[in-house]
Structure formats: structure tokens, C-alpha cells
């Protein structure tokens, strides 16, 4: 039989599990993956904290602190600012990546690249300019910018 102390102990365990479940839900929302599916077309600006995958058509500005993936069926036109990016589809415009940009063999990129690291697979198509900006890209939500480092000579 349950006595008073066992019942209190069980309620504490249940309460802790509910708190942990709420914390896990929050983590899932922060680290969520947003998908623009094949056959979907969006015109506009998107801001987010998590990863974004584009398998449909997107025209506008895409700003995230996470990873951007443009799948083989994905078509993007506009400006992307993110932490990491994997491009397998077609992208036209400007992309700013604070860490690694990967152009996969099926990718077709036309525009300007600003990144810290760049990986281009054989058969990937790239037309445009590339600036290896080091760690100078800020990808926070709000106003993305490139931070210029000035040295003074004495």
C-alpha cells in the first residue's frame, strides 16, 4: 500500500518528468528543421533560428542562425545569410555563410559568395564572385553584415 511519503515521492518524480518534457519540447522548437517542400512556391522574407531545407521555390531573403539546405529540386532566388549551407539545387543571388558553404555536384550557383570555408564538388556549376571573409560574417537575426577589421599602423 502507498503511504503518505511514497505518494509525495511519486508526485515529485512525475513533476520532474513533466518539466523535462517541457524542456525537450523547447529544444525541439529551437533546433527545428523547416521544410519548403517540392511543389511549394514562396515569395517573401524568412527569418529563423533553426535549420531550413528548400526543395520547392523560394524568392526573397532567408536569414537563419542554422543550416540552409537547398535540395536537388530546390530553386532559390535572393539573399541567404546563415551559419552553414549545402546547395544541391539552383541558387541565384547572394549567399553569406559564416562557416562552411558546400556546393554539391548537382548544384547551379550564380551570384556572389561570402564565406569562411568553401567546398565545391566536381560537376558543380558556379558563376560569380567569391570572397573568403574569414570569421567576419555575423549571422544573427536582425541586421546581417560583414565586419571590417581595420589595422592601425604606428
Is there a single domain that holds both residue 40 and residue 77? yes
83: pLDDT strictly greater than 90: yes
Is there a single domain that holds both residue 127 and residue 68? yes
Higher pLDDT, 64 or 25: 64
Print the SS3 string covering 1-60.
Answer: CCCHHHHHHHHHHHHHHHHHHHHHHHHHHHCCEEEECCCCEEEEEEEECCEEEECCEEEE
118, HSE (Cβ side, Cα atoms, 13 Å) = 16
pLDDT of residue 143: 42
Q: Is residue 3 part of a domain?
A: yes
Question: Does pTM surpass 0.85?
Answer: no
132: pLDDT strictly greater than 70: yes
Is there a single domain that holds both residue 19 and residue 94? no
Place of cell 528543421: 33
Reported as a single tens digit per residue, the pLDDT across 5-39 is 444 444 444 444 444 444 444 444 456 788 999 99
Is there a single domain that holds both residue 56 and residue 117? yes
51: pLDDT strictly greater than 90: yes
Name the strand (E) or helix (H) holding 91: strand 90-103
Q: How confident is the model at residue 136 (pLDDT cuts 50, 70, 90)?
A: low
pLDDT of residue 146: 44
Mean local confidence (pLDDT), 85-96: 97
Higher pLDDT, 71 or 142: 71
Number of domains in the chain: 2
Is there a single domain that holds both residue 46 and residue 107? yes
Is there a single domain that holds both residue 22 and residue 93? no
Is there a single domain that holds both residue 16 and residue 79? no
Lowest mean pLDDT among 20-24, 107-111, 115-119: 20-24
Is there a single domain that holds both residue 47 and residue 122? yes
Q: Is residue 18 part of a domain?
A: yes
pLDDT of residue 22: 47
Instruction: Please work out, in degrees rounded to the nearest 5, the angle formed at the alpha carbon of residue 96 by the alpha carbons of 80 and 120.
Output: 100
Domain of 62? 33-142
40: pLDDT strictly greater than 50: yes
Q: What is the spatial distance between Cα 104 and Cα 138, in angstroms, rounded to a whole number?
A: 24
**Beta strand 137-138 pairing with 145-146:** antiparallel
Amino acid at each position: 500500500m502507498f503511504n503518505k511519503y511514497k505518494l509525495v515521492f511519486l508526485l515529485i518524480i512525475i513533476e520532474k518528468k513533466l518539466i523535462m518534457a517541457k524542456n525537450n519540447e523547447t529544444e525541439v522548437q529551437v533546433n527545428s528543421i523547416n521544410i519548403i517542400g517540392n511543389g511549394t512556391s514562396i515569395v517573401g522574407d524568412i527569418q529563423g533560428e533553426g535549420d531550413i531545407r528548400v526543395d520547392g521555390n523560394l524568392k526573397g531573403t532567408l536569414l537563419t542562425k542554422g543550416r540552409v539546405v537547398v535540395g536537388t529540386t530546390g530553386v532559390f532566388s535572393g539573399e541567404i545569410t546563415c551559419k552553414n549551407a549545402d546547395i544541391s539545387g539552383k541558387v541565384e543571388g547572394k549567399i553569406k555563410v559564416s562557416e562552411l558553404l558546400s556546393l554539391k555536384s548537382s548544384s547551379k550557383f550564380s551570384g556572389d559568395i561570402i564565406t569562411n570555408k568553401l567546398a565545391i564538388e566536381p560537376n558543380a556549376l558556379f558563376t560569380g564572385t567569391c570572397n573568403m571573409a574569414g570569421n567576419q560574417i555575423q549571422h544573427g537575426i536582425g541586421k546581417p553584415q560583414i565586419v571590417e577589421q581595420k589595422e592601425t599602423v604606428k
